[in-house]
Amino acid sequence: MGYENFNIIDGGSIITPKGFSAGGVHCGLKKTERHDIGAIVCEVAATAAAVYTTSVFQAAPLKVTRESLVDGKLKAVVVNSGNANACTGQQGEADAYAMRAAMAKQLGLAEQDVAVASTGVIGELLKMDCVNAGIASLPLRLSSEACGAEDFTQAILTTDLVKKEACVSVLVDGKEVIIAGAAKGSGMIHPNMATMLAFMTTDVNIDQDALQQLMRQATDLTFNMITVDGDTSTNDMLITMASGLAGNEKLNSSHPDWSAFSEAFTYVCQKLAMAIARDGEGATRLVEVIVHGAVTDNSARAIAKTIVGSSLVKTAIFGADANWGRIIAAVGRAGEPVNPEQVDIQLGDITVLKGSRPVVFDEEEALVYLKGDTVRIFVDLHGGDGKATAWGCDLTYDYVRINAAYRT
Least distance (Å) from a copy of itself to the CB of residue 95? Answer: 14
d(CA 134, CA 122): 20
184 in a known ligand binding site: yes
Closer to a copy of itself by Cβ: residue 199 or 318: 318
d(CA 27, CA 134): 5
Cβ(297)–Cβ(386) below 8 Å: yes
Closer to a copy of itself by Cβ: residue 55 or 68: 55
Catalytic residue among 47, 53, 119, 195: 195
Amino acid at 70: V
158 in a known ligand binding site: yes
Residue 75's CB: how many other CB atoms inside 10 A? 24
Q: Is the dihedral of CA 378, 381, 387, 391 positive or negative?
A: negative
Closer to a copy of itself by Cβ: residue 14 or 188: 188
d(CA 42, CA 15): 9
408 in a known ligand binding site: yes
Closer to a copy of itself by Cβ: residue 8 or 359: 359
Q: CA 139 from chain center: how many Å?
A: 26
Residue 365's CB: how many other CB atoms inside 10 A? 14
281 in a known ligand binding site: yes
As a whole number of Å, the end-to-end CA separation of the chain is 44
Assess whether 65 carries a catalytic annotation: no
Closer to a copy of itself by Cβ: residue 138 or 302: 302
Closer to a copy of itself by Cβ: residue 15 or 194: 194
Least distance (Å) from a copy of itself to the CB of residue 400? Answer: 5
Least distance (Å) from a copy of itself to the CB of residue 329? Answer: 6
Query: What are the Cα distances from residue 254, in Å, to 71, 95, 242, 251?
Result: 23, 42, 18, 8
Cβ(404)–Cβ(288) below 8 Å: no
d(CA 159, CA 120): 9
Q: Find all residues with CB under 8 Å of 169, minimum gap 6, and list them.
A: 6, 7, 9, 176, 177, 178, 179, 264
Closer to a copy of itself by Cβ: residue 55 or 154: 55
d(CA 352, CA 362): 9
Contacts with a copy of itself by CB under 8 A lie at 54-58, 84, 86-89, 121-124, 187-188, 190, 192, 229-234, 309-312, 315-316, 318-319, 321-326, 328-333, 337-338, 340, 353, 356-358, 395-397, 399-401, 403-408
d(CA 14, CA 318): 33
Q: Which residues are catalytic?
A: 195
Q: Which residues are annotated as a binding site for substrate?
A: 158, 184, 195, 281, 403, 408
Q: Which residues are annotated as a binding site?
A: 158, 184, 195, 281, 403, 408
